[in-house]
Amino acid sequence: MAHTNAWNVDRLPRQEGRVFLVTGATGGIGYFIAEQLASAGAHVILAVRSVDKAKLAVQAVRARVADARLSTVGLDLGDLDSVRSAAGLLSQRPRLDGVVLNAGVLARDARTETADGHELVYGTNHLGHFALVALMYPALERADGSRVVTMGSVAARSATLNLEDLESSRGPYRGFDAYKASKLAQMIFAFELNRRRQRAASRVSSLVAHPGGALDGLTPGRPPVFARTGFSFVRALPLAPFVQGKDHAAWPPVRALLDPCAEGGQLWGPRFLRWKGAPVIERPTRAMADLKTAGLLWALSEKATGITWSPHQPPLTRGPIGSTPAVQMNPDD
């Protein structure tokens, strides 16, 4: 699936006056998404769990982008009270031009739970982001052409989603299978969100991106956030023809967010074997685009989070929005 317009990953379109939220922005791919958006002149809100890590991330971005406009908001996607609090703060903004749902929990050896009693990986990666988007959707609608970019995974192509056991409570717990299923759930949600916003004539587009394969050893250092060691670089070199650093892994979500020719419902990933290179459009798997599964997953997500919502309508939630104070620091506006 070709995309016709030229795109230079090193020369992004200018974004002055626009505001973007990035979850999981204090390290890894999320950090580089934030850095690249800041380099284009955007005001970037870093959604963070740790105040200390947030300070380091802000320091690192400003070392590369001296005039970076940055803010932070406290967010723990594994705690729905925290999600409500952050969303309450974000929903009060005059505008929000886009969000990259990047934060995530990787595979676990044993099953653990979130603060709300959901399986940690599914509860954080999917349910937390589902609730966040629902509750801050009014702010997204106030900006013309805003976008929700969900970070999927190439691993989701081999995942299965068991709607009768989304939280891996039956049988032996297999951490990587739970992780793959959570990423598939995120991608199904993103495609369904775009279908629903189209039916509601909402101006908010929903796109999906995935980073391909990314290794610390191929990632440039960003002190004090990350320092690449010589050993990790040498160990990663044999894989360099097939995978990339986390700076390059940020390219697909950044293009999905900023490319004026990108459209809702698209999936963006690396060009070479879906693992590395410049971002291009990919075809979703049948499982990602299944309408019946998407409808059922949406209903189950509403039940699990206590949030009933539809694009263009205020969400109904069992808990108060903004009930717990959110952390915010270094505001530039």
pLDDT tens for each residue of 2-47: 454 689 999 999 999 999 999 999 999 999 999 999 999 999 999 9
In this model, does residue 283 exceed pLDDT 50?
yes
- The reply to whether 140 falls in a domain is yes
* Number of domains, the chain: 1
Q: What is the pLDDT of residue 331?
A: 58
Separation CA 180–CA 170 (nearest Å): 17
Would you say residue 327 has pLDDT above 80? no
CATH number of the domain within which 67 lies: 3.40.50.720
Burial 260-282, CB ≥16 within 10 A → b, else e = eebebbbbbbbebeebbbebbbb
Mean of the pLDDT values across residues 58-70?
Answer: 97
Q: Is residue 12 part of a domain?
A: no
Taking Cα atoms as reference points, which of 292, 270, 103, 276 lies closest to residue 188? 292
Tell me how far apart the terminal alpha carbons of the chain are, to the nearest angstrom: 40
Instruction: Tell me, yes or no, whether 293 lies in a domain.
Output: yes
- Indicate whether 8 belongs to any domain: no
Q: Is residue 4 part of a domain?
A: no
pLDDT, tens digit, 9 for 90 and up, residues 284-319? 999 999 999 999 999 999 999 999 998 867 787 775
Read off the pLDDT of each residue in 103-112 and give the average, rounded to a whole number: 95
Residues across the chain? 333
Token match 């929700």: residue? 148
pLDDT at 323: 41
Q: Is residue 289 part of a domain?
A: yes
Residue 66: what residue type? A
The stretch 82-87 carries a mean pLDDT of: 97
13 inside domain: no
Residue 179 annotated to the active site: yes
pLDDT of amino acid 317: 74
Q: What is the pLDDT of residue 325?
A: 40
- Of residues 88 and 310, which shows the higher confidence score? 88
Please indicate, yes or no, if residue 195 is contained in any of the structural domains. Answer: yes
Confidence of residue 132 (pLDDT cuts 50, 70, 90): very high
Range of the domain at 152: 19-329
Query: 226 vs 38, 120, 154, 180, 229, CA distance in Å?
Result: 18, 25, 24, 26, 10
> How far is residue 203's CA from residue 205's CA, in Å, rounded to a whole number?
6
| pTM for this predicted structure | 0.93
